[in-house]
C-alpha cells in the first residue's frame, strides 16, 4: 500500500474530493459499480470499461468505469507495467512459474475506492492518505485519481504492480523490500524507450532534509524493525521514515552492480524458498558487510540522486 510521504501533501491531494457524492449499484449481470454520479446520469456507452492486454507470462486488466485515464494514458500505463515485469524477469532473472495477472480498478475519488475495498475484504479499512492499494487476498489493485497529473496516477499503478509480482515470490517479504522496490518502479520514465528510472522527488527531498539536519537513521536501526513495527510506524503513526528509507535503500542498491546483484539474489532466494530473507542476508553479501554499506549509503544520501539506466 502506498501512502503520501509527507503529511503536508495530504490536504493538497484530497481537498478536491471533499463533499463528492459516491453511488454504487449492480447491473443486470450482477456486477457492482462505483462512480461519482448516479447510474441514470451515465452516458449511453457502457458504464464499466475493462481493457485487457498481455505478453507471455503477463496479463493486464484495467477496469475504468469513470474514465480516470484516457485511452493513450491507459496504453502508457500498460507499457509501464510490462517494463516492470521485464525488469523482474530479465534483470532479476526470476522464474515466475505462472502468468502474472495485474487486475486494476480505477476510481474517481478516495471514498469510492474505500467502499470498493471494504466490499471485497472487510479488513481493508483504507486510511485517509492512501493513493492506491493491492489487496493480496483478492489479487486486485485499486487506485484513485489522486492527482490531475495522469503521470502521478500511472506511477501509483507501477507501484502496486510491483507488489503483485513480489507477492508471487514471497507474500512474507520484508516490508522495506516490498515498499522500496514498489517506490523504485514509480520512477520509471515512460517518456522514452529503455529502462530509465528517476529518483522519486518527495523521497529524495526528505532524505536531503534529514541529512542536512543530521537526523538520518542508521541502517542497523532501520533493519532492526520487524514488519509489525514497520507497518505501525508507517500506517498508524504516519511516520515518513519507513517508506522514505525503504526507497533510499532500494535506489542506492540499484545504483551499483554489487547492489543490483544483492537485490537479485534476495528475490531469487525468496522465489526458491518462499520465505523472506534473514536479517543477515545483506550483511553476508555486501562486501564489507553492514559497516561498509552504512558508510556508502550515507555518502550516497549526501550527494545528488541521479537517474539510473538499467541494462541486461
For a pLDDT cut of 90, what percent of the chain falls above it?
57
**pLDDT given for residue 266 in this prediction:** 92
**pLDDT given for residue 61 in this prediction:** 96
**pLDDT given for residue 34 in this prediction:** 45
Confidence of residue 103 (pLDDT cuts 50, 70, 90): very high
Asked if 230 and 241 touch (Cβ cutoff 8 Å), the reply is: no
**pLDDT given for residue 72 in this prediction:** 95
Mean pLDDT of the 208-234 span? 89
Antiparallel, parallel or unpaired: β 100-107 and 58-63 = parallel
Please check the confidence at residue 172 and state whether its pLDDT lies above 90.
Answer: no
Please check the confidence at residue 23 and state whether its pLDDT lies above 80.
Answer: no
Name the nearest CA neighbour of 58 among 28, 33, 31, 90: 90
The grid coordinates of residue 71 equal 485511452
Confidence of residue 12 (pLDDT cuts 50, 70, 90): very low
What DSSP string describes 226-268?
Answer: -HHHHHIIIIIS--SHHHHHHHHHHHHHTTSHHHHHHHHHHHH
Confidence of residue 127 (pLDDT cuts 50, 70, 90): confident
Sign of the dihedral defined by the CA atoms of residues 98, 65, 50, 13, in that order: negative
**pLDDT given for residue 96 in this prediction:** 77
pTM: 0.81
At 132-142, the pLDDT tens digits run 999 988 999 99
Give the dihedral of Cα atoms 121, 122, 127, 132; nearest 10 deg.
10
Confidence of residue 56 (pLDDT cuts 50, 70, 90): low
Name the nearest CA neighbour of 63 among 92, 95, 31: 31
Q: Please state, in angstroms and rounded to a whole number, the distance separating the CA atoms of residues 14 and 20.
A: 11
Confidence of residue 67 (pLDDT cuts 50, 70, 90): very high
**pLDDT given for residue 55 in this prediction:** 58
Please check the confidence at residue 19 and state whether its pLDDT lies above 80.
Answer: no
Mean pLDDT of the 65-88 span? 96
What DSSP string describes 190-235?
Answer: TTSSS-EE---HHHHHHHHHHHHHT-PPPHHHHHT--HHHHHIIII
**Average pLDDT score over the chain:** 83
Q: Pick the most confident of 26-30, 174-178, 249-253.
A: 249-253
Q: Please state, in angstroms and rounded to a whole number, the distance separating the CA atoms of residues 205 and 306.
A: 13
Instruction: Tell me the CA distances in angstroms from 97 to 36, 181, 276, one per residue in order.
Output: 39, 21, 18
The grid coordinates of residue 19 equal 463533499
Please check the confidence at residue 77 and state whether its pLDDT lies above 70.
Answer: yes
Cβ count within 10 A of residue 152: 14
Antiparallel, parallel or unpaired: β 23-26 and 32-35 = antiparallel
Amino acid at each position: 500500500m502506498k501512502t503520501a510521504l509527507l503529511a503536508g501533501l495530504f490536504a493538497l491531494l484530497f481537498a478536491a474530493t471533499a463533499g463528492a457524492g459516491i453511488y454504487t449499484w449492480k447491473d443486470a449481470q450482477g456486477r457492482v459499480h462505483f462512480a461519482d454520479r448516479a447510474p441514470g446520469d451515465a452516458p449511453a456507452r457502457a458504464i464499466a470499461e475493462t481493457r485487457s492486454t498481455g505478453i507471455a507470462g503477463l496479463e493486464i486488466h484495467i477496469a475504468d468505469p469513470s474514465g480516470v485515464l484516457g485511452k493513450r494514458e491507459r496504453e502508457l500505463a500498460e507499457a509501464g507495467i510490462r517494463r516492470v515485469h521485464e525488469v523482474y524477469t530479465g534483470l532479476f532473472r526470476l522464474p515466475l512459474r505462472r502468468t502474472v495477472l495485474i487486475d486494476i480498478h480505477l476510481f474517481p475519488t478516495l471514498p469510492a475506492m474505500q467502499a470498493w475495498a471494504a466490499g471485497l475484504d472487510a479488513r481493508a479499512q483504507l486510511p485517509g492518505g492512501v493513493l492506491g492499494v493491492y489487496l493480496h487476498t483478492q489479487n486486485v489493485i485499486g487506485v484513485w485519481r489522486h492527482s490531475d497529473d495522469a503521470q502521478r496516477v500511472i506511477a501509483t499503478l507501477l507501484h502496486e504492480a510491483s507488489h503483485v509480482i513480489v507477492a508471487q515470490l514471497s507474500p512474507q517479504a520484508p516490508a522495506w523490500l516490498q515498499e522500496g522496490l514498489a517506490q523504485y518502479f514509480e520512477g520509471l520514465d515512460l517518456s522514452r524507450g529503455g529502462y530509465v528510472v528517476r529518483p522519486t522527488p518527495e523521497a529524495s527531498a526528505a532524505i536531503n532534509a534529514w541529512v542536512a539536519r543530521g537526523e538520518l537513521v542508521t541502517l542497523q536501526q532501520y533493519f532492526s524493525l520487524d514488519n509489525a513495527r514497520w507497518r505501525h510506524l508507517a500506517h498508524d503513526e504516519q511516520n515518513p521514515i519507513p517508506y522514505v528509507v525503504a526507497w533510499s535503500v532500494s535506489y542506492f542498491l540499484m545504483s551499483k552492480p554489487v547492489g543490483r546483484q544483492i537485490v537479485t539474489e534476495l528475490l531469487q532466494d525468496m522465489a526458491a524458498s518462499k520465505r523472506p530473507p534473514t536479517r543477515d542476508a545483506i550483511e553476508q553479501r555486501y562486501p564489507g558487510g553492514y559497516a561498509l554499506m552504512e558508510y556508502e549509503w550515507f555518502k550516497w544520501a549526501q550527494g545528488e540522486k541521479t537517474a539510473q539506466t538499467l541494462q541486461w
